Structure 1
Amino acid sequence: MTIHLHDFDGEHSLTWDVGGLAADAAVVAAGHEPNGYFWEGLVRFASPNIVEHVDFDSKAGMFCAVGS
């Protein structure tokens, strides 16, 4: 997995491509699809305080969080 961090005039974007991750088999075994929306939901569940500070723009093949 390669994590990308981009800086755009004070805004930051954290992204990674999903699929082919070591955790995919466990995610599927739990009845979920290991896509960007799954990882976004996991972040929202595991760390709800982050949701106040970032926006998400995840896609099926990519997780994306954007914030200052």
Structure 2
Amino acid sequence: MEFWLRLARAEIAQEIRAGQNDVVPAYALLQRVFMLAIELRRDGDPRLWNDLMTYASEVEEAHAHR
């Protein structure tokens, strides 16, 4: 997990240096949704988690050439 956090931090810093100032609010929003999905799944409602996993898999598959 530490690897992915370091990678995300480096990419965010690079985006900020390039003038993409919306990257921090975007990351914060994604993180809040992720945390909500974890909380809901822990409370017995896996729908948001399942939706996120499905969408993430579709996005990754569509852009696998990167």
TM-score normalized with structure 1 length: 0.24
Q: Which one has a bigger Cα radius of gyration? A: 2
**Greater share of residues in helix:** 2
The higher relative CO (CA closer than 8 Å, separation ≥ 6) is in 1
TM-score normalized with structure 2 length: 0.24
**Greater share of residues in strand:** 1
